[in-house]
């Protein structure tokens, strides 16, 4: 097996030797072998990890998050006893720096592709703390780590898929245990016309259910005319369109949504709206703000109705 010196790794990656050493000390990506003379030697696995961090730096991803993510995966992949094994049986899981025990448990289960454990971890957090806290403290850190790992290495998509599945099921199960809200003037939640990402919408639905607010989730890739038609037919109190990436068709469709009927409130949620002209549509910054805005719009349609939040 070919092992490289610091200088050889630097030449291969096209960076300085000091950058390689700096990544080593700062992100824990050190050479795992030594030459006979005691000098550091990088194995092919070490070089692959450094390469991943380097690509993350070039693509603008946070290098600390990328390093933590690739190290976490390497720990799990090395759990058979290879040189990168750093933890007890099964490794440390997808690394979520600074996160609490529940997030680490979820990350470990996801990295091991243990769907049931991952689902249970999310469900337990939802029941313990409610959706807003569970989403921010447990679910989001692990999703971000999974996304950073994929961006840095181009691998681990199976972990992201399994994690998405487990999070969706847990949010649906949690919402299903809550009292059914009244059905009139619901809130509609939809992904934009090109959008596959809908986990934030599932989180919003669970949080709204905790507040007793009725809602319909239309899911990914909802064409604007279909959403406008659903808003009209249900006399929706509000609609939220989620975009994780920019989508001109969604921006151009906002007036059509606002015109669906007289009293519909339109919210544009997600990083895909950054910099877009959203006109009169409100732009919530996070789940709490979205749930607050949607809940308020619904409550305005319910004169005299007493709301009985469960959290
Ligand atoms: C899970 C996931 C998937 C799953 C989605 C499954 C599902 N059912 O939703 C699958 C595998 C389908 C997927 C597909 C793709 N994905 Co993806 N995915 C993710 C991942 C890991 C989590 C997404 C998520 O739910 N984020 C929600 C939270 C966790 O995001 P956040 O940034 O913390 O949220 C901020 C705000 O949005 C706000 N906020 C948080 N929650 C909420 C809730 C509400 C209601 C509101 C209003 C605000 C709000 O607060 C935060 C602070 O600003 C992200 C990584 C990431 N960092 O988000 C990538 C990510 C979004 N995906 C990405 C990409 C590139 C893709 C693909 C194009 C990959 C491909 N080549 O096919 C496709 C997209 C296909 C499409 N047409 O949409 C990129 C997007 C980069 C970009 N901006 O262009 C990301 C960021 C990964 C990365 N690091 O590069 N993905």
Protein residue with least CA distance to atom 84, ligand 1: 245
Tens digit of pLDDT at every position of the chain (311 positions): 578 988 888 888 877 787 788 777 777 778 888 888 888 888 877 787 787 777 766 666 666 777 777 766 655 544 433 333 333 323 335 888 888 999 999 999 999 999 999 999 999 999 999 999 999 999 999 999 998 888 878 888 999 999 999 999 999 999 999 998 888 899 999 999 999 999 999 999 999 999 999 999 999 999 999 999 999 999 999 999 999 999 999 999 999 999 999 999 999 999 999 999 999 999 999 999 999 999 999 999 987 655 555 54
For 99-159, the DSSP string reads: --HHHHHHHHHHHTT-HHHHHHHHHHHHHHH-HHHHIIIIIHHHHHHHHHHHHHHS--HHH
**What's the angle, vertex CA 101, arms to CA 100 and CA 106, rounded to 5?**
105
All structural domains of the chain with their residue ranges: 1-50, 61-177, 187-300
- Report CA(264)–ligand 1 centroid distance (Å): 27
* Topology agreement, domain 1-50 and domain 187-300: no
- Report CA(195)–ligand 1 centroid distance (Å): 10
Pocket of ligand 1 (CB under 6 A): 140, 143-144, 146-148, 150-151, 160-161, 164, 168, 194-200, 203-204, 244-245, 269-271, 284, 286-287, 290
Spell out the CATH class of 1-50: mainly alpha
Residue 248, token pair as written in the block: 């001109």
Residue 43 has a pLDDT of 83
CATH 3.40.50.280 fits 187-300, yes or no: yes
- Report CA(30)–ligand 1 centroid distance (Å): 31
- Report CA(243)–ligand 1 centroid distance (Å): 9
Choose among 49, 23, 46: nearest CA to 155: 49
Which residues have C-beta within 8 Å of that of residue 258, sequence separation ≥ 6?
A: 264, 266, 279, 280, 281
Ligand 1 atom closest to 61 (CA): 89
- Report CA(210)–ligand 1 centroid distance (Å): 24
Q: How many residues does this entry show for the chain?
A: 311
């Amino acid at each position: 097996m070919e092992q490289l010196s610091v200088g050889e790794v630097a030449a291969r990656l096209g960076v300085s030797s000091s950058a390689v050493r700096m990544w080593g000390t700062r992100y824990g990506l050190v050479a795992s072998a030594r030459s006979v003379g005691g000098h550091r030697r990088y194995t092919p696995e070490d070089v692959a990890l450094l390469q991943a961090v380097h690509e993350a730096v070039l693509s603008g991803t946070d290098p600390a998050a990328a390093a933590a993510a690739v190290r976490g995966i390497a720990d799990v992949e090395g759990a058979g006893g290879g040189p990168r094994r750093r933890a007890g049986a099964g490794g440390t899981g997808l690394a979520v720096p600074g996160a609490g025990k529940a997030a680490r448990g979820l990350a470990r289960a996801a990295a091991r592709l243990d769907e049931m454990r991952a689902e249970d971890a999310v469900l337990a957090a939802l029941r313990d703390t409610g959706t807003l806290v569970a989403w921010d403290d447990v679910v989001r850190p692990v999703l971000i780590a999974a996304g950073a790992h994929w961006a840095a290495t181009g691998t681990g998509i199976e972990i992201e898929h399994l994690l998405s599945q487990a999070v969706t099921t847990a949010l649906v199960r949690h919402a299903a245990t809550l009292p059914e809200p009244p059905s009139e003037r619901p809130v509609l939640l939809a992904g934009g016309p090109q959008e596959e990402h809908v986990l934030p919408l599932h989180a919003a639905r669970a949080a709204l259910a905790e507040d007793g607010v009725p809602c319909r989730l239309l899911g990914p890739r909802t064409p604007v005319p279909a959403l406008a038609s659903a808003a009209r037919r249900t006399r929706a109190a509000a609609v939220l369109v989620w975009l994780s990436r920019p989508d001109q068709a969604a921006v151009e469709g906002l007036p059509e949504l606002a015109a669906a009927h007289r009293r519909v409130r339109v919210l544009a949620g997600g990083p895909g709206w950054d910099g877009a002209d959203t006109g009169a549509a409100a732009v919530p910054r996070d789940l709490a703000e979205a749930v607050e805005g949607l809940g308020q719009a619904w409550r305005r349609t319910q004169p005299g109705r007493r709301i009985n939040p469960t959290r």
